[in-house]
Structure 1
Amino acid sequence: MTPFPLSRRMFVASSLGLAATGLLGVPARAAAPLRIGVGSDPVFAAFFLAAHEKLFEAEGIEVSLQPYAEGAEAMNALVAGQVDVSAASESSTMVRMPRAELRPLAVVYHSGKYVKLVLREGIADPGEIRRFGLVPGSISEYCTGLTLQHFNLDPAQVEMIPSGPPELPALLARGDIDAFFAWEPWPATALTQGGHVALTSADVGYVDTIWATASAAILGSNPEGLQAMLRALAKASDITQSDPARAAEGVRAITRIPVETSLKAFKDMTLGVRDFTDADFISFDGIASFLADHKVTTGLVPYRDVMQRGFYKG
């Protein structure tokens, strides 16, 4: 997901008020804080709200929440052993699986509307696209390919113009590209410069998800803590769905993202903790194939071997 301005060194910690007590009434040694890395935009609202309202503490765990510029950077921190758990998209997680022992635990977000196709002024229909801006090796490029298939566009007749996400709206406004498929806030930025949204990723067959992924080491040493973390996130997700203003204030308290920005983003997403489904795996297979076909990964990533289906009981 795309970053909002925030220092990647921002550190948020919630601590237990009381030590656990052993069977003989002797205080037990408290477990080390569970270190969690996330990106810095509203799709991670459940993590921010759980920290702000001490929902992790209510589940009996101590947590250190570390926001990074984006989910991919949080995953890099997990690979490096700097955090115990990270949340990121399926593609950001898969590409790092060959480098570390990663264990996806559950889906914590899904949406078919957060990633959007934006057309420039003068282009009324996706069938008219001849210059497509994209972020190579990302969901942007994946959805671009789905768009070509959906509208029967000949790839040989469409010029692909690689770009970083922040540059896409400017390229569109100048007429250097006819369209781009990307996640927020870049579509919203393009709208202020004359672009218009034609469709969302669900319209071409892709529902994006974010996984909560743990290191194999923490899954082996502290599965109870991970279960407690997911329970806290589930409660925070329920609050976000039922009381968006309360959740947006929690996001603002941790990240300084304006409340109105979060409220707008919440309309395009569903926060909720759930187990992986058969339909998920079909979608994930498509992502794995895309990454292999575009040489982002060396062959198909055997992600199914490490998915912890059934870990979250709900």
Structure 2
Amino acid sequence: MVIGTGVDPSFSAYYVAKESGIFAKNGLDVQLNTGPSGSAMVSMVIQNQIQSAFGAEQAGLLNHALDPNVVVAAEGAMLARWYGIVGKGVANLDALKGKRLGIARGSGSEVFWLAVVNKFKLDPKDYKFVQVEAPEMVAALERGDIDAYSAWEPWLTRGASSVKGAQLVIDNVGIIEGRVFIYVNKDWATKNKPAAVAFMRSLVEATDVINTKRDQAAVDVAKFLKLDLPLTKLLMDKLTFGVHLNQQSIIAFQIAEAALKSINKLPKPVNWNTLFYPDLLREVAPGKVDYTLPQA
């Protein structure tokens, strides 16, 4: 298998399963690729370029609309205090008006910004948007190419601590509960069911390690991401890890759907019956699947 995601600890299940040998134990030879964000890698699931990706809701909705084989296999983590806006010389949202805001379109960066707009009834016309991928945001802020950016950890901590005059303007607490999801190519999964089930079993096992042997898991994550170990532990404590598909998972996609509709970026109505593919998780851990789909 080839799988892909971004470079932050919310995707720890992938890293731990790879670094600790859980994939290999379950008979899988997995190549783990990383990109500018988890959401950016979801598009690679189209036409089975990779077999699985780990990213946010918005990426799932957009890519499922392009290829119905891009399906949600499970939720992987809840991001309790993870998203935010970092600004240089920007004390609050009012001070951000008229400034250049870095956004990584189609990722959690945009999801969080749209949630802020909705929460505080902002007018997007008051802000100047610059497309910047998350790994480039800190450097862009330091150079003065942008005045602030919407992103997630570790880019929030890195920006606020390394750029002179930068600070966290606002985080996601009380605005949105971010979540990240495991996507698979359904056609591949149905044709290679034993491997797909072994893959899901590996992620459940890796998540158990993360929750019960946190120090051991943090070493694996820090090694893969080339992050400082104390920072890795700090960031992992801001996350709730759990592989499941429940009603909160569905609600997260409904919120993302509404956000996309609000900016006319949803290419067609969501087909809730085809978006979710619980078969793999249900075979591994049936108790972790419990939801009712919204009415069309």
- TM above 0.5, yes or no, is yes
1:243 aligned to 202, 206, 213, which one? 213
- Deviation at residue 122 of structure 1 after TM alignment: 5.5
**Contact 1:140–1:182 at 8 Å: present in 2 too?**
yes
CA deviation vs aligned residue, 1:41-73 (integer Å, no higher than 9, x gap): 322222221222222344x33231322223244
Q: State the match for 2:203 in structure 1.
A: 233
Distance in structure 2 (CA, Å) of the matches to 1:295 and 1:154: 15
Q: State the match for 2:54 in structure 1.
A: 87
**Letter aligned with residue 85 of structure 1:** S
**Inter-CA distance 211–154: structure 2 relative to 1 (3 Å threshold):** closer
The alignment yields a C-alpha RMSD, in angstroms, of: 2.9
Where in structure 2 are the equivalents of 1:109-124 lying within 5 Å? 109-121=77-89, 123=91
Percentage of identical aligned residues: 20
Q: State the match for 1:36 in structure 2.
A: 3
Gaps of 5+ in 2: 289-296
Q: State the match for 1:286 in structure 2.
A: 255
Q: State the match for 2:294 in structure 1.
A: none
Structure having the higher helix fraction is 2
Q: State the match for 2:21 in structure 1.
A: 54
Distance in structure 2 (CA, Å) of the matches to 1:264 and 1:63: 31
Distance in structure 2 (CA, Å) of the matches to 1:240 and 1:183: 20
Q: State the match for 1:103 in structure 2.
A: 71
Distance in structure 1 (CA, Å) of the matches to 2:30 and 2:136: 33
Larger Rg: 1
2:243 aligned to 247, 256, 273, which one? 273
Q: State the match for 1:151 in structure 2.
A: 120
Distance in structure 2 (CA, Å) of the matches to 1:98 and 1:153: 28
Where in structure 2 are the equivalents of 1:51-200 lying within 5 Å? 51-58=18-25, 60-69=26-35, 70-100=37-67, 101-121=69-89, 123=91, 125-130=92-97, 131=99, 133-135=101-103, 136-156=105-125, 158-164=126-132, 165-166=134-135, 168-169=137-138, 179-192=148-161, 193=163, 194-200=165-171
**Contact 1:126–1:151 at 8 Å: present in 2 too?**
no
Q: State the match for 2:291 in structure 1.
A: none
SS in 2 for 1:95: helix
**Inter-CA distance 163–214: structure 2 relative to 1 (3 Å threshold):** closer
- Deviation at residue 127 of structure 1 after TM alignment: 4.2
**Contact 2:82–2:153 at 8 Å: present in 1 too?**
yes
**Letter aligned with residue 298 of structure 1:** P
Gaps of 5+ in 1: 1-33
